[in-house]
Structure 1
């Protein structure tokens, strides 16, 4: 792979890691909102799951950023994106007492979040297939083979 492509792969990893590093940190420092969404979806142990999701997101985001265990991490993030998209963003939002106009706006945002999750899953599948590239810890460890 050319140095230009390896540089672009590094940029892609930085961009793909950004959302999970920030989101994971946010969940770990203030899990209440996420715990509310988890409880609203009918899942048990909402606060524990919020912390677990935060830890997973932060660690996985950092792994992608530095290119460590990239293929495995990318597959895990792809599955996480599809799961969370379907569980938390595929239905209609109905909040008691909210005006219809506001609910329409929130439901539009919810659809966008579902599409964002599915799109991210595609990016992570691509990363899982291609690997971390030359500028990564995987390359230093000899496990960053690229198929393209």
Structure 2
């Protein structure tokens, strides 16, 4: 009677199978794209971003715009390459929920409700990534 040991490699957190790691990589790419583009856009149009943040009543709009832009750009990049994935996953999940609560609570507007729910879904993806780890195709896997 033979035993099947191939299932030992299917746990995404340690030595994931190629198929699972490929899927996790695709998920990381899809999660990172919106943050890379948004962070880059905020930082390259910082005055407009600060003006928008000021209109929301956020404190120190220019500083807030820089911090938010950097979180999005650097967090998106870290998720993309799989660097400190579990920690960054938690940070980005919290950031994304906070963003929903700050910018998308005008629920009488259907688009604001959709954006709020979208942010919650993205946060859920980050939490799954924080829990599962980055997979084999990542800087974290190469370092550990």
TM-score range, shorter chain: 0.7 to 0.9
Moved over 3 A (4+): none
Q: TM-score, normalised by structure 2?
A: 0.85
Instruction: Quote how far apart the aligned CAs of 1:112 are.
Output: 1.1
Q: TM-score, normalised by structure 1?
A: 0.82
Q: CA RMSD in A?
A: 1.3
**Structure 2 unpaired stretches of 5+:** 1-9, 11-16
1:5-49 Cα deviation digits (max 9, x unpaired): 110110100000000000000000002443233222322111211
Equivalent residues, number: 129
Paired residues for 1:50-89 under 5 Å: 50-89=65-104
Q: For the residues of structure 2 that align with 1:39 and 1:126, how far apart are their CA atoms? A: 33
Matched, 1:8 2:23: yes
**Structure 1 unpaired stretches of 5+:** 93-103, 143-148
Q: Would the aligned equivalents of 1:6 and 1:134 in 2 still touch at CA under 8 Å?
A: yes
Report what 1:129 is aligned to: 131
